[in-house]
Structure 1
Amino acid sequence: MSWTKGGAKLQLKIGHLYPDLLDLYSDRGNVIILEKRAHWRGLQVTVDQISVGHEPRLADYDILVMGGGMDREQGIVAEDLQQRRENLQEAVDAGTVIVAICGGYQLLGHYFETSTGQRIPGLGILDIVTVGAKVRMVGNVVGEMDIAGVKHNIIGYENHSGKTMLGPNATPMMRVIKGYGNSGEDKFEGVRQGNIFGTYLHGPLLAKNPILADHMIELALRRRDLSVHLDILNDDLEHRTNAKLYKRLVEAK
């Protein structure tokens, strides 16, 4: 389709939240993938870095990305996010796509309770709670996710000690085929709540799963135009790589 409107290119505005504090396992790679795949389709893309002391209106962004971090950095972010709760809720209500990885995922929930019993309040935007476990859940993950009515194999990497439980208003992002996922018990990974995608998968996730990146871009553009459908890119190499990883991780004895 044409990516111009009134002679001007359609725009995609991405906000990268706390890139200086939350960037475990190259989580910033997710921002790069979103930017590149939009550029390759002729979209005009703007990426802003938003950290402590920056106070833009978050509803002005089409996509917000937040990664994971160490305990100290997550504590700084948790305190700062409390000051942004209404700002972020406004973005949620406006249909902004939010991608929250690991610690970012946990901080959007009701609370995180450490293994010693300390309860750190979250924003309560996601209907989840997280409790610290004594054993870390580490390794490659393969899941099955429904994207626009079609099931796709999603591949990523997890490293977390928090066990996340979903409430009635949150839907699992995918079913776990290999790995731990949210808790290591319910065989679900991540959460999908409206246009929010919360997940423990690093990798970066969107480099390994471009179909998911495109889904997020399309949802973001549809905030303004429901008729938007992305042009198809030549992803033969990406599809072969995904299939090879699936075979190595799931089918290999």
Structure 2
Amino acid sequence: MSESASRTLRVAHLYPELLNLYGDSGNILCLRKRMEWRGIEPDVREVHVGDRPSFSGVDIAFIGGGSDREQRIVCDYLLEEKDELAAFVEDGGVLAAVCGGYQLLGHSYAMGDQVVEGLGLVDLFTDHGEPRIIGNIAVESRVSPQPIVGYENHAGRTHLGEGVEPLGRVLFGRGNDGASGFEGCLYKNVLGTYVHGPLLPKNPGVADWLIARALERRYGSADLEPLDDREELAANEVMYHRLMAGEVEEL
């Protein structure tokens, strides 16, 4: 039996009934399959409205995107677990947050004319801007050997605090605020991003970064056996070159 065959990673999928606007269940499916293909046991547990989530024993937590109303509902639930979630993050727990979930990570975010308290897990905040940022995006990031490609659709303008690392540099698209040239955030083992479509199936390097960080925290080793990603990487490459060649217009 290989070393990885005896390993288990627990994944907490937070409020999938509310935050699945951008096919975020595909991100969980991708994590699950990339673990199984390596002989790592995925223990995926959904946290639903009315549940009291515990992050004890969780290796990877995932927060997807939703409408403003659904985002506010989830934020209210998670604020009740703010201290435990913050402890999970500070202990190196892996947290991936997409679009609306990304905005929740900060101190505050704008919802229309209202400023809503965020979870304060990362030193950032999100205000509102016009026009809405909609279109394809490509990002150069240290977490992925290939450019991260996907789609962005947000009115929020996210501003990173001093010392917070962006996920990467925008090669095509608008990113966090349409002006800085950066997209997403990295803090400890937290990855926040506006890139969806969904994110992980299009960008296997990002999925493997999350898995590797979780393995390193749980077992002290982050070695991952390579997978046959020819189809995924070919699709990624085609999209990247279409964007950079101007074959897909920026909206």
Amino acid of the structure 1 residue aligned with 2:226: I
1:96 aligns with 93
Give the deviation of 1:152 after TM superposition: 2.9
Q: Alpha-carbon deviation of 1:218?
A: 0.6
Aligned to 1:238: 232
Aligned to 2:137: 141
Q: CA deviation at 1:56?
A: 3.3
> 2:154 matched to 1:196?
no
Question: 2:176 — aligned with what?
Answer: 182
Equivalent in the alignment of 1:32: 29
Secondary structure of 1:141's counterpart equals strand
1:80-91 matches, cutoff 5 A: 80-91=77-88
Contact 1:59 1:90 in 2 (8 A): no
Aligned equivalent of 1:129: 125
Judge conservation of contact 1:18–1:52 (CA < 8 Å) in 2.
yes
Structure 2 gap ranges (5+): none
| 2:162 match: secondary structure | coil
1:154-197 deviation per Cα after TM superposition (whole angstroms, max 9, x unaligned): 10110000000000131100100100100000010000011000
Work out the CA distance in 1 between the residues paired with 2:34 and 2:145. Answer: 21
How far does residue 231 in structure 1 lie from its aligned partner after superposition?
0.4
In the superposition, relative to structure 1, how do residues 62 and 235 fare at CA in structure 2: closer, same or farther (>3 Å)? Answer: same
- Which residue in the other structure is 1:15 paired with? 12
Q: Distance in 2 between matches of 1:113 and 1:141?
A: 23
In structure 1, distance between residues paired with 2:105 and 2:22: 20
Q: Normalising by structure 1, what TM-score?
A: 0.93
Asked whether 1:58 is paired with 2:58, we answer no
Give the ranges of 4+ consecutive aligned residues of structure 1 lying more than 4 Å apart after TM superposition.
none
**Which amino acid in 1 is paired with 2:146?**
H
Q: In the alignment, is residue 229 of structure 1 matched against residue 223 of structure 2? A: yes
Query: What is residue 69 of structure 1 aligned with on the other side?
Result: 66
Q: Which amino acid aligns with 1:248?
A: R
User: In structure 2, how many angstroms separate the alpha carbons of the residues matched to 1:163 and 1:175?
Assistant: 16
1:106 is paired with a residue whose SS is helix
Shift of residue 241, structure 1, vs aligned partner? 1.3
Q: What's the TM-score, normalizing by structure 2?
A: 0.94
Equivalent-residue separation in structure 1 for 2:54 and 2:163 (angstroms): 26
Partner of 2:158: 164
- The amino acid of 1:2's aligned partner reads S
- Secondary structure of 1:36's counterpart equals helix
Percent identity reads 44
Between the aligned partners of 1:228 and 1:240, the Cα distance in structure 2 is 25
**RMSD of Structure 2 on Structure 1 (CA):** 1.5
State the Cα distance separating 1:227 from its structure 2 match. Answer: 2.7
Q: CA deviation at 1:115?
A: 4.4
Which residue identity lines up with residue 36 of structure 1 in the other structure? K
Deviation at residue 51 of structure 1 after TM alignment: 2.3
